């Protein structure tokens, strides 16, 4: 099971680089290839990502990952939640240091 932080990383990277392979996503994000594959399937099932093939060669099929409007909305929602969590952690640490 992937956490929201991993989903956010994948959604952000797809939003920036649409023509990116799962292998490159894995390398750039430091997440295993199997986990990336699982995440993309999950995001597609939830309607956050569309997956289209854009180039078919004899060796491999290349895919284009596109965030749907629902995916962009989810990315924003996760980002806000993540930022709130980090601010709470910061305030907690700040309190601890003051005492």
The enclosing domain of 93 has a CATH number of 1.10.10.10
Distance between CA 64 and CA 7 in Å, rounded?
Answer: 17
Domain carrying residue 52: 4-98
Q: How much is the average pLDDT of 68-72? A: 91
CA distance 26 to 90: 29
pLDDT tens, position by position, 26-59:
999 999 999 999 999 999 999 999 888 766 655 5
Task: Indicate the number of domains in the chain.
Answer: 1
- Does 53 or 97 have the greater pLDDT score? 97
pLDDT (mean) for 63-83: 89
Mean pLDDT of 66-83: 90
Q: Which two tokens stand for residue 95?
A: 């309190």
- What does the pLDDT read at residue 60? 60
Contact 66, 52 (CB under 8 A): yes
Average pLDDT over residues 2-12: 86
Residue 74: Cβ-neighbour burial (10 angstroms; 0-12, 13-18, 19+): buried
């Amino acid at each position: 099971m992937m956490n929201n932080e991993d989903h956010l990383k994948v959604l952000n990277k797809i939003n920036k680089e649409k023509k990116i392979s799962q292998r490159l996503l894995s390398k750039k994000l430091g997440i295993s290839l199997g986990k990336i594959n699982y995440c993309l399937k999950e995001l597609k099932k939830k309607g956050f990502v569309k997956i289209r093939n854009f180039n078919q060669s004899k060796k491999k099929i290349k895919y284009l990952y596109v965030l749907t409007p629902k995916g962009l909305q989810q990315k924003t929602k996760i980002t806000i939640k993540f930022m709130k969590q980090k601010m709470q952690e910061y305030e907690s640490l700040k309190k601890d240091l003051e005492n």
